[in-house]
């Protein structure tokens, strides 16, 4: 059996089935991966600082997928799009993405260290920060438009805002995952990295008063459910045409 204790980064392996390389799903829908090593009873595994940031991106990407699914519907028939579901998605992006992931982790810890280290990754920092700021403006707009309860009239301005927001953040998070986070990891010692992992966990507790990540995963799961996007199989591509 695998369970999370209060400090969510610590995965406590409590049973003999652990260590077999199986993938376990927690009751709340989160996942914990037991690597193929032999872990004894009560042994803890930690989610490192970089893995933490990257899985937060996973939640944000799922929000982006909700947004992009709504774009053609907004163009065809805005009234058919749930304003409430869009508003919930934008609120999640605000609280978990902008106020926590960006403002509390990336901007105070990752960006200054990477910029100071110089090199290719450093040259991305100003643009990434400008994108955080632009993202906030767009989120304000989405919240204002969807806060009215129903979507009617011209859906094009909202469709366009969502489209450009999604394109920006797809590029943004992909650069952070492949260039900026690895550069940050490079400048820290193993001990510093470990300390950052603990600090991130403390910040998350401060910010949310609970397990913010698990809660965000549950929230995006509920939104997907409401919008009929929860079934992963629907996104399996059809077979390609004959060449
Ligand atoms: Fe960012
Ligand atoms: Fe990020």
CA–centroid distance, 235 to ligand 1, in Å, is 27
Look at 119 and 32; give whichever has higher pLDDT: 119
CA–centroid distance, 23 to ligand 1, in Å, is 29
CA–centroid distance, 101 to ligand 2, in Å, is 6
Model confidence at 38, pLDDT cuts 50, 70, 90, reads very low
pLDDT at 175 over 60: yes
pLDDT value of position 152:
82
CA–centroid distance, 158 to ligand 1, in Å, is 23
CA–centroid distance, 96 to ligand 1, in Å, is 12
Range in 21-35, 36-50, 78-92, 207-221 with the lowest mean pLDDT: 21-35
The pLDDT tens digits for 101-123 are 999 999 999 999 999 999 999 99
pLDDT value of position 28:
38
pLDDT value of position 213:
96
Model confidence at 46, pLDDT cuts 50, 70, 90, reads confident
Range in 29-33, 88-92, 107-111, 235-239 with the lowest mean pLDDT: 29-33
pLDDT value of position 35:
36
The pLDDT tens digits for 200-229 are 999 999 999 988 999 999 999 999 999 999
pLDDT value of position 43:
56
pLDDT value of position 47:
78
CA–centroid distance, 94 to ligand 1, in Å, is 13
- Concatenating the DSSP letter of every residue in the chain gives -EEE-SSTTEEEE-STTTTS--EEE-TTS-EEE--SS---TT-EEE--HHHHHHHHHHHHHHHHHHHHHHHHHHHH-GGGS-HHHHHHHHHHIIIIIIIIIIIIIIIIIIHHHHHHH-STGGGGHHHHHHHHHHHHHHHHHHHHHHTTS---S--HHHHHHHHHHHHHHHHHHHHIIIIIHHHHHHHS-HHHHHHHHHHHHHHHHHHHSS-HHHHHHHHHHHHHHHTT---GGGGSPPPPPP-
CA–centroid distance, 181 to ligand 2, in Å, is 9
CA–centroid distance, 243 to ligand 2, in Å, is 39
CA–centroid distance, 216 to ligand 2, in Å, is 15
CA–centroid distance, 31 to ligand 2, in Å, is 20
CA–centroid distance, 16 to ligand 1, in Å, is 40
Q: What is the mean pLDDT of the chain?
A: 86
CA–centroid distance, 45 to ligand 1, in Å, is 26
């Amino acid at each position: 059996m695998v369970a999370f204790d209060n400090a969510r980064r610590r995965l406590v392996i409590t049973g003999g089935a652990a260590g077999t390389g199986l993938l376990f799903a927690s009751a709340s829908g989160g996942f914990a991966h037991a690597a193929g090593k032999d872990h004894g009873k009560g042994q803890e595994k930690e989610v490192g600082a970089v893995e933490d940031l990257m899985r937060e991106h996973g939640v944000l990407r799922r929000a982006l997928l909700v947004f992009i699914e709504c774009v053609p519907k907004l163009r065809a028939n805005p009234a058919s799009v749930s304003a409430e579901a869009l508003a919930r998605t934008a609120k999640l992006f605000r609280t978990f993405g902008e106020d926590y992931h960006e403002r509390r982790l990336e901007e105070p810890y990752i960006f200054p260290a990477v910029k100071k280290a110089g090199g290719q990754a450093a040259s991305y920092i100003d643009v990434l920060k400008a994108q955080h700021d632009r993202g906030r403006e767009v989120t304000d707009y989405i919240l204002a438009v969807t806060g009215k309860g129903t979507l009617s009239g011209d859906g094009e301005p909202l469709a366009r805002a969502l489209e450009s927001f999604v394109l920006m953040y797809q590029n943004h998070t992909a650069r952070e995952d492949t260039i900026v986070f690895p550069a940050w990891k490079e400048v820290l010692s193993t001990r510093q990295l470990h300390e950052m992992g603990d600090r991130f966990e403390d910040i998350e507790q401060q910010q949310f008063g609970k397990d913010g990540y698990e809660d965000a995963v549950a929230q995006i799961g509920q939104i997907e459910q409401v919008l009929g996007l929860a079934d992963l199989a629907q996104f399996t591509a059809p077979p390609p045409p004959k060449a």
